[in-house]
Structures are given as structure tokens and as C-alpha cells.
Structure 1
């Protein structure tokens, strides 16, 4: 299985639960061995991990790295620069 980075996985609009799954994969808290279709309950049931992943997506929107539409139902990557590249 080829690993895809978070920014690549969100090149196009994806639903919030898929975005949270991709974030979990990139953080190493989810395994790609369990597909998204079998991982959905993490995001659809009320639990701290699912809420934290969603809150992180919202924080990335606030930071300008992601954009959202449809009342935070879909997300995509928008950042074109690295945070640690400075013009000094």
C-alpha cells in the first residue's frame, strides 16, 4: 500500500470524516490496515478521539492550511508554503 501525505490526500474536497481519517493516519494514531469504511465509527460516535481530530481540522482551517465549505462538512488543503520558511 502506498502512503499518501495529508496534504496530498486533501488535494480535492473530501467529507469531514474522510479528512479526519487522513489526519489520524498522518499522525500515526490510525493504521491504513483498517480502511476508512471500517473506521467511520470513530468519527460518528461521540468520543474524545473523534472530537479531537475534528477540532484539529477546524484549527487547521483557522491557521489557513485547510479551507472548508458547506458548514465544515468538507475540507481541502490550501497552503502553498511551508510554515518554517521565512523571508529573513
Structure 2
């Protein structure tokens, strides 16, 4: 999955982390979000690391972040 395509619109943080995981090859294309949602909805090293990747991509200017209506991410295009 191409990260720029997967995050072309505002995406809740857990969905965005799933897109990052797919683009890194952590989750196969055949795996659905619902099959791995516990990775994002519990405190664990993988879910925490994927969220941190999102924040670092914001710091680098690759993604945009907003807090309302929920924490969401968007491909910056810069």
C-alpha cells in the first residue's frame, strides 16, 4: 500500500497506523483492520511504535495531524 494514497484523506490515528503497518509490510494485504485492531486499541510495543511513526512523520512534514474531531492524520504532499 502506498502511504500517500492510503492517507489521502483525514484518517483516524488507528486507521493511519494500520496504513503505515501495511506500507512497511507488517500487515499483509489480505489482513483487515478488524483482524488486528487490538494492536492499536491496547498498550503494546507494536501499536505504540506505529503511533510514534505517525508523530515522527508529522514532525518531518510528511503528514499533517489534527485533534478534532479525533486524532487524525493526512498526507501532507509537501
1:75 aligns with 2:65: no
**Could you tell which deviates more after superposition, 35-44 or 66-75?**
66-75
Larger radius of gyration: 1
* Unpaired stretches in structure 2, ≥5 consecutive residues: none
Runs (5+) with no aligned partner, structure 1: 81-88
- Of Structure 1 and Structure 2, the greater helix share is in 2
Give the superposition deviation at 1:30: 1.1
Instruction: Please name the residue that 2:58 is paired with.
Output: 61
Shift of 1:39: 1.3
Q: How far does the alpha carbon of each residue in 1:46-65 deviate from its partner, in whole angstroms, 9 at most, with x for none?
A: 11010000000000000000
State the superposition RMSD in angstroms: 1.4
TM-score, structure 1 normalization: 0.81
> TM-score with structure 2 length normalisation?
0.91
C-alpha distance in structure 2 between counterparts of 1:16 and 1:58, whole Å:
10
- Displacement over 3 Å in runs of 4+: none
**Residue equivalent to 1:50:** 47
Aligned length: 77
